[in-house]
């Protein structure tokens, strides 16, 4: 019996659902799931999640939070409550993102990560089922380094280049999420090109470079390709440790009957080992990021986008509960 591309892919790669949509997660039953502020905001607008929102607000109010802190606490509780609902469906882990506004503050990122984990603990969730998701700024990576040293698993997101991946390896983070689609979008615009063949897709090539580097240097951090625009991009990274895929692409993969072959494996990685891994310093990281216009713009743009999504959710909550929008600075 012919298998779908999705079924074949699952034999090569751990498939993760990139969604806060509980119905979609129920349908595709991935091992793991990832969320982000944009996905949480989208999920909050689904009628079936109204009760979760009301419960989150009631809990924040009961804890004594007021005004803007009440809204922020409600968002954190809602984010965790959605994570718990997801974990009730899947067998593996969920990635829960720290407020992107903290991306350049190491200490506040650490504190927020522990707040989120404390909420999960209160709901009876084992810490090992949570990945704390943090933007791959230098400050975010140092926060992850400190958290990992305490046994708290992290997923470093908004990753667009090898310099970020090297710093994450130095921090011994559990998992990184190098982006594919956003890199493609940037190059299409920058080079005024309508499309790239998959073997020249700059997003796919970026993840391959990082994957090969990690395997060559026996770096244990898992690589999870993210931000896909097409089925071809997903299949172009078949064999990667993990791939996090939106429900619309999971559905297309389930209907696609082409033969799927591994595009990445450890044997490929070992063929072109050049030099040993050396730790990257803060100065080197900053210099390499600033000299890579694509990575620099996409990292900051991604952070700004997630901040905006959280602000949209805050507005939604204020309107929903009749709170005065003027109390927010």
Return the structure tokens found at 40.
């949480």
For residue 329, tell me if it sits in a domain. no
Q: What is the DSSP letter of 172?
A: T
Which residues are paired to 18 by β-bridges? 34
CATH number, domain with residue 143 = 3.20.20.70
Q: Which residues contact 41 (CB under 8 A, 6 or more apart)?
A: 309, 310, 312, 313, 316
Neighbour count for residue 156 (Cβ, 10 Å):
29
Query: CA torsion sign, 212 to 214 to 217 to 220?
Result: negative
Residue 329 has a pLDDT of 46
Q: What is the pLDDT of residue 324?
A: 66
pLDDT score for 323: 86
Do residues 129 and 94 lie in contact, with contact meaning Cβ atoms separated by under 8 Å?
Answer: yes
Give the count of beta carbons closer than 10 Å to the beta carbon of residue 294.
16
State both tokens at 95.
């990635």
Token pair for 103: 């991306």
Q: Is residue 320 part of a domain?
A: yes
Residue 120 inside a domain? The answer is: yes
| Dist CA 264 CA 125 (whole Å) | 34
Q: Which phi-psi region, left, alpha or beta, contains residue 176 (left: φ > 0; alpha: ψ -120 to 50)?
A: beta
Distance CA 304, CA 182 (A): 14
Name the token pair of 329.
Answer: 């600075």
Residue by residue, DSSP assigns 192-211 as: T-S---GGG-HHHHHHHHHH
How many domains does the chain contain in total? Answer: 1
Give residue 276's pLDDT. 85
Residue 15: per-residue pLDDT: 96
DSSP annotation of 226 reads B
Q: Which residues pair with 243 in a beta bridge?
A: 15, 225
| Residue 21 in domain | yes
- What contacts 171, CB < 8 A, 6 or more positions away? 141, 142, 144, 145, 148, 156
pLDDT of 275 reads 76
Distance of CA 70 to the CA centre of its chain: 26
Q: Which residues contact 193 (CB under 8 A, 6 or more apart)?
A: 187
- What is the pLDDT at residue 328? 45
Query: Which of left, alpha, beta for 124 (phi over 0: left; psi -120 to 50: alpha)?
Result: left
User: In this predicted structure, what is the pLDDT of residue 273?
Assistant: 59
CA atoms within 13 A on the CB side of 229: 16
What 3-state class would DSSP assign to 287? Answer: helix
* Distance from the Cα of residue 322 to its chain's centroid: 32
- Torsion sign, CA atoms 183, 184, 189, 192: positive
3-state secondary structure of 224: strand
Catalytic residue numbers?
133
- The first and second tokens of residue 89, run together, are 């469906």
Range of the domain at 316: 5-324
Question: Which residues of the chain fall below pLDDT 70?
Answer: 1, 268-274, 324-329
């Amino acid at each position: 019996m012919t298998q779908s591309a999705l079924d074949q892919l699952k034999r090569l790669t751990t498939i993760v659902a990139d969604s806060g949509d509980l119905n979609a997660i129920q349908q595709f039953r991935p091992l793991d799931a990832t969320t982000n502020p944009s996905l949480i905001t989208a999920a909050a607008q689904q009628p079936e999640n109204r009760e979760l929102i009301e419960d989150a607000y009631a809990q924040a109010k009961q804890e004594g939070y007021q005004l803007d802190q009440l809204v922020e606490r409600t968002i954190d509780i809602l984010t965790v409550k959605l994570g718990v609902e997801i974990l009730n469906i899947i067998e593996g882990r969920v990635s829960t993102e720290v407020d992107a506004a903290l991306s350049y503050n190491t200490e506040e990122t650490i504190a927020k990560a522990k707040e989120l984990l404390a909420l999960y603990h209160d709901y009876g969730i084992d810490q090992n089922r949570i990945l704390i998701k943090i933007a791959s700024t230098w400050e975010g990576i140092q926060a992850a380094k400190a958290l990992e040293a305490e046994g708290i698993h992290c997923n470093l997101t908004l990753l667009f280049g090898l310099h970020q991946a090297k710093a994450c390896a130095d921090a011994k983070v559990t998992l990184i999420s190098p982006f594919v689609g956003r890199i493609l979008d940037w190059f299409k615009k920058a080079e005024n090109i309508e499309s790239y063949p998959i073997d020249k897709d700059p997003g796919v090539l970026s993840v391959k470079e990082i994957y090969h580097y990690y395997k060559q240097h026996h770096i244990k951090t898992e690589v999870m390709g993210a931000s896909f625009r097409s089925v071809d991009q997903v299949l172009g990274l078949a064999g990667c440790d993990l791939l996090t895929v939106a429900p619309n692409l999971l559905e297309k993969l389930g209907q696609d009957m082409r033969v799927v072959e591994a595009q990445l494996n450890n044997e490929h990685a070992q063929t072109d080992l050049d030099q040993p891994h050396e730790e990257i310093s803060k100065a080197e990281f900053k210099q390499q990021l600033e000299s890579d216009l694509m990575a620099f713009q996409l990292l900051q743009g991604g952070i700004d986008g997630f901040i905006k999504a959280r602000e949209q959710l805050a507005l939604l909550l204020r309107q929903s509960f009749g709170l005065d929008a003027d109390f927010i600075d």
